[in-house]
Amino acid sequence: MADIFISYSRQDKARVAPLVAALEAEGWSVWWDPEIAPGEEFDGLISRELDAARSLVVVWTAQSVDSRWVRGEARDAADRGVLVPVRLDNARLPIDFRAVHTTDLDGWGDDPQHPAFQGLRKALEAKLGPPRKATAVAAAAEKKPEVSICVLPFANMSGDPEQEYFSDGITEDIITDLGKVSALSIVARNMAFSFKGAKGGVGEIGRQTKAAYVLAGSVRKAGARVRITAQLVNAANEGQVWGERYDRDLNDIFALQDEISRAIVAALKLTLLPEEKRALEQRATTNVKAYKFYLMARQFSVMGNERHQEIIVRLCKRAVELDPSYAAPWATMAIAQWDMHRRSACAEDGQEAAYQAMRLDPRLADAHAALGAAHQGQGRYEVGLKACESALQLDPNSYEGNRIAGMCSMALRRYDDAIRYFEAAATVVDTEFTAASFAPQCYEAKGDAAGAVVASRRALTRIEAVIAAEPDHGRALGYGAGLLASLGEADRAMEWIERGTLLDPDNTILHFNFVCALTRLREFEAAIDLLSNVIDKGSQGWLTWLDSDTDFDPLRSHPRFIEIVQKAKARFALQEAAGSDA
């Protein structure tokens, strides 16, 4: 039974999706399912969901007013006293609904803080009571896990280093599955993966992670076959509690993951709650090829190289071609597109993919983070932060949720919050340097020079390790140059700027970061020269970010800087006006 049934015209699907996402982010369950196939089954399902829903939000538009289905659903809801109407484009309401109070959502701009949306929220609370998410989160927080487990990265035994993405993916999915069991406390992925290839004994790993049990294993994938071995070991006495070897067809990989999780629960003599049993049975996809392409995309995403973003999008598009209902690659694609759009206004901004991920799985933290990224890219920082907070309610260890929340908070100049989010993101992934590189600027902005130095050195250490492996890593070079400038290593910063300019000449964000580094070096004329060469290649969101970035504060009164920025803003204003006229 859903809290809210959405009645709308299929022609308005793209406009209704943000409303659905915002309502789900508030904590209500929503039924709308725009992809369901018509027919007898469709009619029956609609009828059941309509009868069961606790409220009905009808979205009146010029299209829905003419729909006898929408009008019929609205009449049924009105008769039951559960109708909550909203209107777009000042649509002329059906004559029998003109006396019913209707919320006008024109101009709400997908912003849950907008007065119109807040009015809708109050109308729904009057019928439904407060959203249940806060209560559920608080109840979950009160549960005390009984058993702690550290899932070590499963060893890649395929004889092909490129298959590492697959063994890592299997490990991460087992961590996710076991995390659905309330009686278990799972060591964070970052800490578990820090033991990859470690020679220490299980007892020592248990002491360091405070885990009572350690799960270790290996994956061997060859053609259409996969062999997985796993053993659960008591960290206190290093005795094996459970162990098994599985030889299966690759198409059985999802059932195999389910078997492993269930076997561990059984070995520990735990009882699954009914909802936990259902959660373990649910799989994001049943298409093995789609799963494989998504794991590849996720591996590239973790590496953080901007040159990989086109690859990530290509892999995710292939995954959703194979399984259009697979939410995770939609979310990963959206975040990569957002990053690409920041470099070039010609690239997709990720909004469509983010909304698709939200529609498919509103319980997926990365879907909310992707929506936050799309809003951040448009300069809607409050809305983006709200979406990221929803992501972090679902998964406090969400890397993307923390990273993007930090960027939104930084743009809003809420530096303590930004530091908290950036530090959390840097903790989730121990090789991460993007969020780690933003933290020093926030420490500086709040006047904590000592904190800025410590954070800068930590981020620079990570960046140096990345560049040692990938000397042409544009993002690392860009952030690294700024950190070197802050730490007073001017010659080295200039050398990195020269190298990055030659290695990645078309990377707008790289040059944007070099402008920041040159400003920190007080090379103001050089900084403005470089800015003038790249500002026309950036997106509107890029320009909005420039307005809030404290690195540019020393330049804001410079006549050339003012002229360059004003011209860029005028250009975007003309483009928007032309788009509106069209």
Q: What is the pLDDT of residues 184-200, one digit of tens each?
A: 888 887 778 888 877 76
Radius of gyration of the chain (CA): 26
Q: What is the mean pLDDT of residues 329-352?
A: 85
Q: At the fourth CATH level, which superfamily is domain 144-283?
A: ABC-type transport auxiliary lipoprotein component (3.40.50.10610)
As a whole number of angstroms, the distance between CA 32 and CA 16 comes to: 10
pLDDT level of residue 136 (50, 70, 90 thresholds): very low
- What pLDDT, on a 0 to 100 scale, did the predictor assign at position 45? 64
What tokens does 440 get?
A: 């020093």
Reported as a single tens digit per residue, the pLDDT across 386-438 is 999 999 998 888 899 999 999 999 999 999 999 999 999 988 777 789 999 99
CA–CA dist 142, 198 (Å, integer): 34
Q: Which residues contact 439 (CB under 8 A, 6 or more apart)?
A: 406, 418, 419, 422, 423, 426, 455, 459
Residue type, 84: V
Q: Can you tell me which residue has the tokens 């042409």? A: 472
Is residue 213 within 8 A of residue 147, CB to CB? The reply is yes
pLDDT of residue 189: 79
Angle of helix 474-486 versus helix 490-503 axis, rounded to 10: 160
Instruction: Give tens-digit pLDDT for 520-549.
Output: 999 999 999 999 988 887 777 778 888 888
Tokens of 582: 């069209």
- Which segment of 24-38, 95-109, 489-503, 507-521 scores lowest on mean pLDDT? 24-38
Q: Which CATH fold topology does 4-135 show? A: Rossmann fold (3.40.50)
What is the CATH code of the structural domain delimited by 290-576?
1.25.40.10
The number of angstroms, rounded, from the C-alpha of 179 to the middle of its chain's C-alpha atoms is: 18
**Whole-angstrom distance, CA of residue 195 vs CA of residue 189:** 10
Question: 238: phi > 0 → left, psi -120 to 50 → alpha, else beta; which?
Answer: left
Collapsing DSSP to helix, strand or coil, 488 comes out as coil
Which single residue is written with the structure tokens 């209500």? 28
Residues 6 or more apart whose Cβ sits within 8 Å of residue 210: 148
pLDDT digit string, tens, across residues 266-292: 998 888 777 788 777 777 888 999 999
Q: Where are the alpha helices (DSSP H) in 95-219?
A: 115-128, 133-142, 164-178, 189-193, 202-209
Q: Domain residue spans in the chain? A: 4-135, 144-283, 290-576
What's the mean per-residue pLDDT of the chain? Answer: 87
> Six-digit token pair at 312?
């990530």
Q: Within its chain, how far is the Cα of 239 from the centroid?
A: 39
Q: What is the CA 309 to chain-centroid distance, rounded?
A: 15
pLDDT of 323 above 50? yes
Q: What is the pTM of this model?
A: 0.70
- What are the pLDDT digits (tens) for 83-115? 999 999 899 999 889 888 899 998 888 888 888
Q: Is 43 helix (H, G, I), strand (E, B) or coil?
A: helix
pLDDT in tens, 44-67: 667 777 888 889 999 999 999 999
Sheet holding 4-7, edge to edge: 30-31, 4-7, 55-60, 83-87, 103-104
Considering the chain, what percentage of its residues have pLDDT values greater than 90? 48
User: Phi and psi dihedrals of 254, rounded to 5?
Assistant: -70, -45
Q: Measured between alpha carbons, how far is 414 from 411 in angstroms, rounded to an integer?
A: 8
Assess whether the region 4-135 and the region 290-576 belong to the same CATH fold: no
Q: Are 375 and 37 in contact (CB under 8 A)?
A: no
CA distance 310 to 507: 13
Residue 153 DSSP code: P
pLDDT at 132: 60
Contact in structure between 577 and 547 (CB atoms under 8 Å): no
Q: How far apart are CA 552 and CA 534, in angstroms?
A: 15
pLDDT for the residue numbered 290? 94
